[in-house]
Amino acid sequence: ASQVPRYVRVNTLKTCVDDVIDFFKRQGYTYLGKAASVEELKALSGKKFLLDLHLPELLVFPAQTDLHDNLLYTSGHIILQDKASCLPAFLLGPAAGSHVIDACAAPGNKTSHLAAILKNKGQIFAFDVDPKRVATMNTLLTRAGVTGCQLAQQDFLTVDPRDPKYSRVTHILLDPSCSGSGMVTRGLGQEAAPSAERLQALAGFQRRALNHALSFPALQRLVYSTCSLHQEENEDVVQAVLQEWGSAFRLVTAFPSWPCRGLAAFSGAESCLRASPAETFTHGFFVAVLERCREGAAAPSSLPAVAKENPQPGEGMEPGAAPKKRKKKKQRVK
């Protein structure tokens, strides 16, 4: 846990990267520019910070940095979110105006990230079955300035894919309940490993959720992610569901330059990516990107697509490209 830096996602619904960097400079922090390697993130100390080398709106501070009382955090201008947790929305990459489902959304960090990517244009349907978590999510999204998001206290498995209100849903982010084995708690020991029975039960739920998500008729792109290290919840779930859907969906190579790939559990699993405290200095995480095959396209079992006609984040663009200067400054925090 001591290896994992403090990651700070700039909330572009309220501000921009340059303004946040200036704000921290005024608070006595030293900005070291964009990181050139993962090792640089680990070497951070004191009141120094970097721009992440992979994600263009992510700042990196030393692990011991506490920003929960910082004005930027309390006002929703920044989101304290682990780097690995930023990958699902970034790789889903819906265009502004898209209709998107966040299937297991609470506490809402990924939902707010989706809203920022959409620029609050389009529609997000966010589901969670727990009323307390939905209330927490509502508070977080309000603070982040998110609009165009319908929250529902509902089990995603009970959502009807044929309901006309979801007829334009082209993107789904599915981050279902999992063992949480990839989560590192700062200053505390690791929890006991889940039993085989527990993993089997979780994997069963995850397969049902993924199958359900793929049944939305207009779906074009889906990201499946967990904060688990276990193959049973990750590669095995993706493989089983892809086999059930035949040639309808395929795996897309997610973030080709990302160093850690999926375990070699099946042909094409290297299209998935993994994250870990030891190798990427993040929480443990797994991400798979699935895309509907066009008629006449190759079946999912063929070689995964690396390049596409319309590049998504992490595909056909240089990962970690510096954010473009905004023509119009958003509100500045004094």
18 & 130 share domain: no
Distance CA 100, CA 256 (A): 24
45 & 67 share domain: yes
11 & 112 share domain: no
Q: Does 196 appear as a known binding residue?
A: no
129 & 63 share domain: no
Give the domain-ending residue among 80, 113, 134.
Answer: 80
Q: Could you read off the pLDDT of 158-192 as tens digits, one per residue? A: 999 999 999 999 999 999 877 777 776 644 445 56
Q: Is the pLDDT reported for residue 311 higher than 50? A: no
Q: What are the helix and strand counts (H, E) for the chain?
A: 9, 13
Q: Does 155 appear as a known binding residue?
A: yes
177 & 239 share domain: yes
* The token pair that represents 101 in the structure block: 């489902």
Mean pLDDT across the chain: 86
122 & 58 share domain: no
130 & 257 share domain: yes
How many folded domains does the chain comprise? Answer: 2
183 & 256 share domain: yes
Confidence of residue 296 (pLDDT cuts 50, 70, 90): very low
Domain span at residue 28 reads: 6-80
* The token pair that represents 48 in the structure block: 């120094």
Cβ neighbours for 37, distance < 8 A, ≥ 6 positions apart: 53
51 & 142 share domain: no
Percentage with pLDDT > 90 across the chain = 70
Q: Does 107 appear as a known binding residue?
A: yes
229 & 254 share domain: yes
Cβ neighbours for 89, distance < 8 A, ≥ 6 positions apart: 110, 113, 114, 117, 173, 223
Catalytic-role residue among 86, 178, 227, 293: 227
76 & 89 share domain: no
Among 31-35, 162-166, 176-180, 326-330, whose mean pLDDT is lowest? 326-330
Does some domain include residue 15?
yes
Q: Does 110 appear as a known binding residue?
A: yes
Q: Does 69 appear as a known binding residue?
A: no
Does some domain include residue 272?
yes
DSSP 305: B
Q: Does 122 appear as a known binding residue?
A: no
Q: Is 272 a catalytic residue?
A: no
CATH number at residue 279: 3.40.50.150
